[in-house]
A = this chain, B = another copy of it.
Amino acid sequence: MSKDTRISMAVVRRLPKYHRYLGELLRNDIDRISSKELSDRIGFTASQIRQDLNCFGDFGQQGYGYNVKELHNEISKILGLDKQYNTIIIGAGNIGQAVANYSSFEKYGFHLKAIFDKNPKLVGIKIRDIEIQDVDELSSYLDNNKVDIAIICVPRLHAQSVADILVSKGIKGIWNFAPTDLQVPDDVIIENVHLSESLMTLSYRLNERNLFED
């Protein structure tokens, strides 16, 4: 499934979109597609699609195009969706609860195993059959359970100290919803979801085109 040379983040961030569009083609019982047709749907150029896919292998066939099922499957593997991940959520406020309830991540192999919060009013409450634990138990939980991805949903000022605990226990993947940039060693991967940055980008663009006049 692999060629060499480092894959750029620009390419990586397009992969989930390929995965999504191919999944949709599958649901519509379309079993082959050319880079040109895919381009028309997904909005990347055909040339870019072929370049992107060729980073990972020769999935197409001249004169034919790509087999949808096969390509979807390959991209799943490239994204690591053929594996299972144990996840935990730290912070059971608005965002934490929303993510906890987002059960559709399960189908991609992400299994929520535990939820932590420091608010005594939340500790003990169950979300999707998982009882919220006191965050003081986070360390000992990590000593006794394999966790692949930790999801940080605590307020900004607590995020770094939570990250420090996670790192000290060997967690290598952090999905960070706190509006701050976490300091972690190089071998720990952070994926940020900065909602206010996204919203600010939207307001910038509204004003830029003079679409917004008060």
Contacts and interface: CB of A to CB of B under 8 A. Distances in A.
Interface of A: 7, 12-13, 15-17, 19-20, 43, 78-81, 83-85, 94-95, 97-99, 101-102, 104-105, 108-110, 148-149, 172-173, 175, 179-181, 187, 189, 191, 193-209, 211-212, 214
A197 B81 contact: no
B98 A94 contact: yes
A211 B108 contact: no
A203 B85 contact: yes
B110 A102 contact: no
Contact of A80 (B79, B101, B179, B212): B212
Contacts of A206: 80, 148-149, 172-173, 189
Contacts of A94: 97-99, 101-102
Given A202-B149, A212-B80, A193 B196 contact: no
Contacts of A196: 16, 104-105, 108
Contacts of A12: 201, 204-205
B173 A187 contact: no
Contacts of A101: 94
B105 A199 contact: yes
